[in-house]
Structure 1
């Protein structure tokens, strides 16, 4: 395939993904939105989510402009001598804009689908699954569509400006350096989306859980709970916009780092096959295109039947997309890489000859490792599996043992994912060098459209359960939404494990791209005191970052708890309605006409909007400090010593990956332990059930900032630090090695 064909194919497929996403969201909006009350609740959730996003983006816009000016000036100052210029600022702004727009589109779709999923659950399980998954698929399609459209458009622009880049050498590196700004823009938005969204969702969740469940004995989604709307809003800002921005960043980082490392293969390809052009540089884009088509194909396999397992339907779609992607990728690699192989000299392994099938092995290794990490994560976090069972058992002896067991489960869960990631790295490096590691990261992320669709499905199903509860649709409907939500909890946990694994490989490939840009001048030798200090600081940063995120949640949650308590004490209609609802719930019956009258009198009395405002204000205020620290750390360290920066990149990746797995899996295990105890109820645990439930709610509350704030945000931290290092490499080289 010619260079021009690939360059034009990328934005073409991106537009296809966006058009199909538009068709999906229109189909969702054509579905029954439910009763008037369901539509009102859906509007509350949507208004809160979009208000948060608008305020967050206004805050970030000033930061983006400031960074763009500094980035453009710094790169213009070193100029052509370092194969860069001020146009990198354009790429940066476009990357930030595309990431933010993808979050907006995904949030709009999710908040439109939640009440319609609840309405469809009145008909059947498959009908509800189709609406929830369609809503989630828009997020996946928006991410891949805008990522490839932005990147492809920039590539077209820069190749027209610098047509000599098609011949390799310095012009090629100039174009790739300019493209890397797109990755930094995506990373910056991702960090604040993850941290800000995580603070919001967990402040609301903790307030709804502790006051609603523990103190007042009502479900978090109960209409009498003042924090319930904020809790449902938080599901969207954290697990839709936040996760979308996270994987948008990983996706772009994997593509761009593999393109930069592919430039090292360029000479070998030219020598082996006349007219090979930028094949190694453009191959990552072609793999991404194949992944988009495979994901759209997989969407059609997602279905279930009444009483069936929605997880099987989601798995069928994901595996179908994966198989098609592997077949297509192998064909693309065989077409793009010479049969005789490529001889490459890279900065670590020296001179080696690699075959086309070696790159294919690396891509498949990345895909298999991603699936494996997801399965391992499911084992450690799913209900009725031994890790969660152990937490359920420990809850019989109180809150402390529940916490201890959950921490132990989280620590144990780091072993297998680390071994899987390590295996993927070694296999990819053995068969295709540093380029293979980058392609393995891309292989893991190639079907991101359907992977993100299954992840975004989770908060939509969760919201649907909240809408059903608040609208009092009955036990049958709530049973269907609970079944979808239980699968959503598993897909969320798998998605977090997948995001961590992809972050590890992406960060490593970005680090390799940084070393390549530094022309071998960075020596990561642990005997070097500068490298050792960098390693230590790098290992420390994830802990400091996590502490800042969790303290932000804790402070915001305190304000939320006080507000919920105030409303219960000061709004006169809430207490009688609460007592009536609790009587009916404890006796497992519908309210009597008299109780229903009392409960109905409290409708709309709770001040949901004030709780949303508290969570929004806390998230916007508290997200800035950890974000600035993540951006400034590699810059400051880099100007002290490039060897120290090399150590920092290694340290933050190792520490961040392990800590992220621990936090995410312990939090997921606590969450499902709570759900298992609730589902098993008095029938299994008898008189112990009430205290066990309180203990597991405490565990879940501790785990909330673990799994939804600190853990996921660490993915961004390790990638952002690596992206910043890669971006500033030309400036650092000019500073430390003038002339």
Structure 2
């Protein structure tokens, strides 16, 4: 059995990938088979679908120009195998986001119709729509990396050539992820902030009121940002983590056996089975949304943990040496448990800081009673407090797994953590689907009870979105540590000498400072983009309301397309510079003779450290602000129309670009920097 797993383990894992794709197809058919409501509902849903599709097509054209330039550079400066990997990574990342989003924009209207029947019907439709994205991410990620690795190994006859080429696939998926996250985030939050500032604060309109000219743009944005953007983001994290595990296994193991390379694939394959059982549980459970969704994650993690115990001991009957340390099956299995445990820890901690059921959000809601400023102060402090426990968990995980199995142990923990993406991303896409369902219910003038059901689901969805963003950023911190280790090992192999990063070396300190400022500069550009685009939306909404007074009394239909066009152009134009910052920083530092590989290593560490804190703080603050607003709208602290409510809307609009644009985009940006550093080693350091 051990020989079979060693020789055919990658192929076996790909079978689970195919199973995941088949399950995604079944879920798509289930979602599309659900009733889509009346003609008015279908009309609104089609407008959202058309807007989302049009934006993604224009985004694809913009990204393609940059991708082609990079593709030519990679082909010219590296080799055709790396260039092929770049194409595959980019295409699969786009496919995961695009298909998942197109299912989500069809699930929203069906969720609204389901809400008119029962709470559980709506929850099931929304979750299944999100589960399609989750399964696509893990199945496409596993299949793309596995098939490409086997193909290059077969034609080259060398595992080394296959491992080297995987860096191209990682870069392709990461590049698309940064653009999708930034572009989608700018789009969705510019529309959302613009709609709220005029609609709620100036005109006292409710959420998704059809009289608001920015309503359709807001609903489109939920899909291109939270569905397509998040799918591309986690696909990239999943693929990069798997590649990192393979790369570290090859670079640090003293054995010629394929065991260290096969093990990460088998972890990902087994976890797809766990995700399928978790999805099944959510579908059959007749309990509230939060316990059902969290229960699905728990089942997925437990099943994966149980199945990986015999598999690990079968694959590693004897200890294997990694970087001079003998590592046995028990030690590797402990690293698996740490990765899965870190997932649960991240979910619990993020839920505590962003859920209406806990003190941080309720304390934030109380701060709204004394005005806008106290709400903003409390929200920022909540985000800062939220960094403590996740970072301590990450630090503890790094320390323990490194003591057990060195850098390979950290890599296995990361792979185990990301292997649960199938169920975790299902939770994330659940949020925008239920949010859109509420919008369709209001714009279609359905019974107010339908909106009450979708609002309950949306509140859960907000917390789940915050949880998945925290999960993605925490995993990015671990994954970046693995990539940094890979960078150091690649330097040793390429330049045939040992490298140490001494804090007394000014090059290291310079790199740390430059790397530390990158996340700040990156998020600043992202926030600026949302602010300027939202300002343009505000002006357009005010113009329409002034020019056509009949909009407010319902006798004149707003020109929804104008706001859609404004945010589309702004998102595509303003995502380019921040997305290219990682490339600029890496090449400039690497090319300066006085800095070179030592300073570049410092840059990687600086980016990881500050990026991790910024990402966690921004997403936690934004999620807390959003749910504090919903908590007040449920009737607490005076409810709608009060000073507290107006202050909470301000907090929510500030938190929107925090949690859905700048904060989450830091995650792929960190890994782009590290992957680029590995990629340029043979090109710039000779």
Q: Could you state the TM-score of these two structures normalised by the residue count of structure 2?
A: 0.96
* Cα distance in 2 for residues equivalent to 1:112 and 1:673: 29
Partner of 1:168: none
Q: Which whole-Å deviations, capped at 9, do the CAs of 1:250-281 have from their partners, x for residues lacking one?
A: 1111111111111145434x5xxxxxx30101
What's the secondary structure of 1:473's corresponding residue? coil
Partner of 1:492: 465
Partner of 2:537: 560
1:14: Cα distance to partner?
2.1
Partner of 1:545: 522
Partner of 2:288: 309
Of 418, 428, 434 in structure 2, the residue corresponding to residue 461 of structure 1 is 434
* Cα distance in 1 for residues equivalent to 2:451 and 2:285: 17
Of 184, 206, 211 in structure 2, the residue corresponding to residue 224 of structure 1 is 211
* Cα distance in 2 for residues equivalent to 1:4 and 1:317: 33
Partner of 1:110: 104
1:305: Cα distance to partner?
7.3
Partner of 1:344: 322
* Cα distance in 2 for residues equivalent to 1:322 and 1:344: 27
Partner of 1:284: 264
> Is 1:125 matched up with 2:80?
no
What's the secondary structure of 2:282's corresponding residue? coil
* Cα distance in 1 for residues equivalent to 2:645 and 2:417: 38
Contact map agreement 1:265 1:280 (CA 8 A) in 2 = no
Of 301, 306, 327 in structure 2, the residue corresponding to residue 327 of structure 1 is 306
What's the secondary structure of 1:222's corresponding residue? coil
Contact map agreement 2:13 2:270 (CA 8 A) in 1 = no
> Is 1:63 matched up with 2:42?
no
What's the secondary structure of 1:33's corresponding residue? coil
1:343: Cα distance to partner?
2.5
1:119: Cα distance to partner?
0.5
Query: Closer, same or farther in 2 for the Cα pair 1:305/1:281, shift >3 Å?
Result: closer
1:332: Cα distance to partner?
2.0
1:384: Cα distance to partner?
3.8
* Cα distance in 2 for residues equivalent to 1:265 and 1:710: 35
Of 133, 143, 160 in structure 2, the residue corresponding to residue 139 of structure 1 is 133
What's the secondary structure of 2:143's corresponding residue? helix
Alignment of 1:25-424 (within 5 A): 25-75=28-78, 85-163=79-157, 165=158, 172-268=159-255, 270=256, 277-303=257-283, 308-339=287-318, 341-345=319-323, 351-424=324-397
What's the secondary structure of 2:504's corresponding residue? coil
Moved more, 702-711 or 635-644: 635-644
Q: Which whole-Å deviations, capped at 9, do the CAs of 1:360-414 have from their partners, x for residues lacking one?
A: 1112111111211121111111114221122112111111111111111111111
> Is 1:483 matched up with 2:456?
yes
* Cα distance in 2 for residues equivalent to 1:632 and 1:9: 40
1:304: Cα distance to partner?
7.2
In structure 2, the gaps of 5 or more residues are: none
* Cα distance in 2 for residues equivalent to 1:363 and 1:22: 29
Moved more, 605-614 or 672-681: 672-681
Contact map agreement 1:303 1:314 (CA 8 A) in 2 = no
Of 678, 692, 696 in structure 1, the residue corresponding to residue 644 of structure 2 is 692
1:632: Cα distance to partner?
2.2
Q: Which whole-Å deviations, capped at 9, do the CAs of 1:400-432 have from their partners, x for residues lacking one?
A: 111111111111111111101101111110111
Q: Which whole-Å deviations, capped at 9, do the CAs of 1:708-739 have from their partners, x for residues lacking one?
A: 11100111111110111122223244x2xxxx
Q: Could you state the TM-score of these two structures normalised by the residue count of structure 1?
A: 0.89
In structure 1, the gaps of 5 or more residues are: 76-84, 166-171, 271-276, 346-350, 578-598
Moved more, 325-334 or 658-667: 325-334
1:303: Cα distance to partner?
4.0
- Larger C-alpha radius of gyration, 1 or 2? 1
Alignment of 1:697-712 (within 5 A): 697-712=649-664
* Cα distance in 1 for residues equivalent to 2:285 and 2:149: 45
1:331: Cα distance to partner?
2.0
Of 13, 16, 19 in structure 2, the residue corresponding to residue 16 of structure 1 is 19
What's the secondary structure of 1:343's corresponding residue? strand
Contact map agreement 2:526 2:662 (CA 8 A) in 1 = yes
Partner of 1:531: 508
What's the secondary structure of 1:353's corresponding residue? strand
Of 660, 663, 668 in structure 2, the residue corresponding to residue 716 of structure 1 is 668
1:457: Cα distance to partner?
0.9
Q: Which whole-Å deviations, capped at 9, do the CAs of 1:105-156 have from their partners, x for residues lacking one?
A: 0111100100000001111011111111111111111111221222122122
Of 577, 601, 607 in structure 2, the residue corresponding to residue 625 of structure 1 is 577
What's the secondary structure of 1:527's corresponding residue? coil
